[in-house]
C-alpha cells in the first residue's frame, strides 16, 4: 500500500521485513521467498537504486528457475523484470536475450494471443526501438497492438499504450 501511495521509503523496511519472514518460515529457496525478493528489487528500482536492485532481481530469477522450472510463467515474470532492470541501467544488449526469453515463456504458457504475451511483445519492441532497430521494432509494435485490440478491446488503456507506441515509432521512422 505504501509503495502504491508513493511512500517508497516507508515501504522499504516493510518489504525487507516481509522477506525476512518468508526466508525464516519457508526457507531461502521457496518460490514465495523469490516473490518477496523480486518485490524488494522492484521497490529499489522504483527508488532509483538500480545497482541495489540487480542482485535481488538475479536472486529472484534463480529461485524461480530452481523451484518452478525455466519455463514457468512466474519464472518468465522474473526474466522480464531482470530485462527491464538491465534496460533501465542502459545494458540493452544484456536485456535483449532476456526480453526474448520472457516472450518465449509467455507464448508457451499463455498462447500467442494472450494479453501477457502482448505485454512481452511490446517490451521487446521497446527495447529494439531503444537500440535504434526501428525496422525490427515495427512488426512487434503492430503485433502487440493486434493482440491487445483483440484480447482487451479497442478502448482499453493497454491498447491505447500500443497505439501510442506504434505512432511514436512511425514518427521516429519518418512515416
Cα atoms found within 13 Å of the Cα of residue 171, Cβ hemisphere only? 6
| Cα separation, 165 vs 148, whole angstroms | 13
| Cα separation, 168 vs 148, whole angstroms | 17
Beta strands in 51-141 (DSSP E): none
- Do residues 41 and 64 touch, judged by C-beta distance below 8 A? no
| Cα separation, 163 vs 23, whole angstroms | 42
Return all residues near 30 (Cβ < 8 A) that are at least 6 apart.
Answer: 22, 63, 67
The three-state secondary structure class of 154 is coil
**How crowded is residue 18: how many other Cβ atoms within 10 Å of its Cβ?**
16
User: How high is the pLDDT of residue 144?
Assistant: 97
Q: What is the pLDDT of residues 38-79, one digit of tens each?
A: 999 999 999 999 999 999 999 999 999 999 999 999 999 999
Average pLDDT, integer, range 155-166: 96
Pick the closest to residue 159 from 149, 172, 174 (CA basis): 149
User: How high is the pLDDT of residue 11?
Assistant: 87
Cell of 55: 542482485
User: How high is the pLDDT of residue 3?
Assistant: 59
**pLDDT at 6 exceeding the cut of 90:** no
Amino acid at each position: 500500500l505504501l509503495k502504491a501511495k508513493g511512500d517508497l521509503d516507508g515501504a522499504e523496511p516493510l518489504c525487507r521485513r516481509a522477506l525476512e519472514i518468508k526466508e525464516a518460515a519457508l526457507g531461502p529457496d521457496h518460490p514465495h521467498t523469490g516473490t518477496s525478493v523480486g518485490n524488494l528489487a522492484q521497490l529499489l528500482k522504483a527508488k532509483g537504486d538500480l545497482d541495489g536492485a540487480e542482485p535481488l532481481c538475479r536472486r529472484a530469477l534463480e529461485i524461480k528457475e530452481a523451484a518452478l522450472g525455466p519455463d514457468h510463467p512466474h519464472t518468465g515474470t522474473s526474466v522480464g523484470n531482470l530485462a527491464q532492470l538491465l534496460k533501465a541501467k542502459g545494458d540493452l544488449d544484456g536485456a535483449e536475450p532476456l526480453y526474448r526469453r520472457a516472450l518465449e515463456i509467455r507464448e508457451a504458457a499463455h498462447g500467442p494471443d494472450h494479453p501477457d504475451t502482448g505485454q512481452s511483445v511490446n517490451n521487446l519492441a521497446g527495447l529494439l526501438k531503444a537500440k535504434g532497430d526501428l525496422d525490427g521494432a515495427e512488426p512487434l509494435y503492430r503485433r502487440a497492438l493486434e493482440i491487445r485490440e483483440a484480447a482487451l478491446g479497442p478502448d482499453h488503456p493497454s491498447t491505447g499504450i500500443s497505439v501510442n507506441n506504434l505512432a511514436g515509432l512511425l514518427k521516429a521512422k519518418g512515416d
